[in-house]
Structure 1
Amino acid sequence: MRTWLAAVIAAVIAAVLVFTDSTASGDTEVGPLPSDTDVDYQLGGAVAAPGHVGIVVRDRHAQPQAGRFNICYVNGFQTQASQKRFWKKRAGLLLRDRRGRLVVDAAWGEWLLDLRSGQKRKRLARIVTRWTAGCAADGFDAVEFDNLDSFTRSRGLLKRKHARKFARLLTRGAHRAGLVAGQKNLAGFDGHQVGYDFVVAEECGRYQECGDYVDDFADQVLMIEYRRKDFAATCAGFGATHAVVLRDRDLSANGVRTWC
């Protein structure tokens, strides 16, 4: 009798520990992206998406479109160029080179975040997770965290392992807020390992990477192209099974938008 009772107690304790660990990690069960619909990528300005578009991606400062699956854009690994005043007050969280200069993504004028220490990652995650919670409060269904690949532009100061650890903190924050978490780019990186649920793949047709994303995320891949010949190739290869949109590179409100 004592042996049986001890076994029951041990089983109950194990179950409680598993539940507690899962809850603390923020690994909330979230649903997939809608299937059999198109996507519109509206970071440069919000406009009403046409009826055949069921998924809309907008900046976190915009409002979601009613009746659609809305994805909130958050620049998770770099700063927005328009937020320099905010980040200057938190300069210790920005990546600097060996001469003390801020490391910049020259293409967009964005500073890279310093992800090298666990302490800084936690401080940065609190900031980004607060934005993520704001997306949820505004009615978004999901979030995409941009610039996962910023370590490739860090002059060797950041490593893939730093990005992985930080991404894990961000996806946990998204799941705690009840949002589906999206990986942005970085073909060949199976984001499931750190909690990503879907991918936003820019120019995967141009760089022949669409298949890499599909191998990891099946139909949970949104494909954005900026050149017509790449769009045509992506539509030919994946348009029957995936949401593909052609946009102008500035993603302007009244710019190019074409679907397969």
Structure 2
Amino acid sequence: MLAACTAFLGALFGAPAAADAAALPAPVSCASCWHPALNTSWQWQLSSVPAEPFLDVAMYDIDGFNATAATVQRLHATKTGRKVVCYISAGSYEDWRPDAGSFPASVLGKALDGWAGERWLDIRQYGGTLGQIMRARLDMCRSKGFDAVEFDNVDGYTNTTGFPLTADDQLRYNAWLANEAHARGLSAGLKNDNEQIPQLLPYFDWALNEQCWEFSECTTAQNGDYGLDQFVKAGKAVFNVEYNLATSKFCAKANAQNFNSLKKRLDLDAYRVACR
């Protein structure tokens, strides 16, 4: 009875019903976007710009600001069909970026634990200046010739950000990011945020995960109702990195799930050991 009364009063006075709280826009389709094969060799290198000779891999994920258009062009030119992913942080402010001065104080939250110069963002404000900044970053990725985008720190609602972010806030923001990428012909990768995979799967073309084997959160069987295996079942590639586990502790399991898993160092330099 109480729930029914609450719903009635909400409707009467214009408050959104609970079922509508996470209402999301329709996914923007992108038939021309890159959709990586389930088995895709790759390198993830953010702390430095890759230099020739490049690895013989089908995908490079590199820092969108630090890489030049010439580097992206060479990565394309030196291996037929190679794709290049543009790393940007969509959920944190980084004080060393050239656009750092564009962020209004109202969107800057608490510092990211362990990451100097970074602060969480109030993602609820993507309808204003924050959204303009992210659109400009996506325009940069497109202008440099990237094929796809890796959005980092898109799980702020599970962290102490300084803002009362909810799961619904994160769903709306992440769906918006994917749609903005697709509108520019860029493939969109979901970074971590495993708990929201069931809702976000229609928006993203592939997934990138850190340490799901270490924390036993890779599969739906482990978690109950979410897991990266849902991407694979939908024909979408999963890229996974482990930092602390020995390859003997995760590679066989990763290969069995058809994940593209690597052993990397936390600073994401050129070092890599591929599981397959």
Kept in 2, the 8 Å contact 1:71–1:142? The answer is yes
Other-structure match for 1:12: none
Aligned length: 224
Q: Partners in 2 of 1:193 and 1:259 — Cα distance?
A: 25
Change in CA separation of 1:193 and 1:60 when aligned onto 2, cut-off 3 Å: same
Other-structure match for 2:46: 43
Q: Is 2:82 aligned against 1:76? A: no
Q: 1:148, CA displacement in angstroms? A: 1.0
**Which of 172, 178, 181 is residue 188 of structure 2 equivalent to?**
181
> 1:112-170 CA distances to partner (integer Å, 9 max, x unpaired)?
111234xx444312211221122122121110100111122225621121111111221
Q: Is 2:211 aligned against 1:203? A: yes
**Residue aligned with 2:59, SS:** strand
Q: Which amino acid aligns with 2:263?
A: L
Q: Partners in 2 of 1:158 and 1:82 — Cα distance?
A: 25
Q: Which runs of 5+ in 2 are unaligned?
A: 1-25, 221-226
Q: 1:232, CA displacement in angstroms? A: 2.8
Other-structure match for 1:6: none
Q: Partners in 2 of 1:80 and 1:156 — Cα distance?
A: 18
**Residue aligned with 2:121, SS:** coil
**Which of 235, 251, 263 is residue 235 of structure 1 equivalent to?**
251
Q: Is 2:121 aligned against 1:113? A: yes
- Answer with 1 or 2: which has the greater Rg: 1
Other-structure match for 1:92: 105
Q: Partners in 2 of 1:37 and 1:193 — Cα distance?
A: 19
Q: Which amino acid aligns with 2:204?
A: Y
Kept in 2, the 8 Å contact 1:125–1:169? The answer is no
Higher mean C-alpha displacement, 42-51 vs 139-148 = 42-51
Q: Partners in 2 of 1:194 and 1:116 — Cα distance?
A: 21
Change in CA separation of 1:37 and 1:165 when aligned onto 2, cut-off 3 Å: closer
Q: RMSD of the TM alignment (CA)? A: 2.3
Kept in 2, the 8 Å contact 1:34–1:55? The answer is no
TM-score by length of 2: 0.73
Q: Percent identity?
A: 26
Q: Partners in 1 of 2:240 and 2:178 — Cα distance?
A: 21
Other-structure match for 1:60: 64
**Which of 169, 180, 183 is residue 162 of structure 1 equivalent to?**
169
Q: 1:202, CA displacement in angstroms? A: 0.6
Q: Partners in 1 of 2:54 and 2:214 — Cα distance?
A: 25
Q: Partners in 1 of 2:138 and 2:102 — Cα distance?
A: 20
Other-structure match for 1:134: 140
Other-structure match for 1:214: 228
Q: Partners in 2 of 1:134 and 1:152 — Cα distance?
A: 29
Change in CA separation of 1:258 and 1:193 when aligned onto 2, cut-off 3 Å: closer
Q: Which amino acid aligns with 1:222?
A: F
Q: Which amino acid aligns with 2:103?
A: R
Q: Which amino acid aligns with 1:195?
A: Y
Change in CA separation of 1:87 and 1:157 when aligned onto 2, cut-off 3 Å: farther
Kept in 1, the 8 Å contact 2:152–2:191? The answer is yes
Kept in 1, the 8 Å contact 2:154–2:170? The answer is yes
> 1:42-73 CA distances to partner (integer Å, 9 max, x unpaired)?
0111324422x211100102132223211110
Q: 1:87, CA displacement in angstroms? A: 3.5
Q: Is 2:241 aligned against 1:224? A: yes
Q: 1:214, CA displacement in angstroms? A: 2.8
Q: Partners in 2 of 1:122 and 1:25 — Cα distance?
A: 21
Q: Is 2:274 aligned against 1:259? A: yes
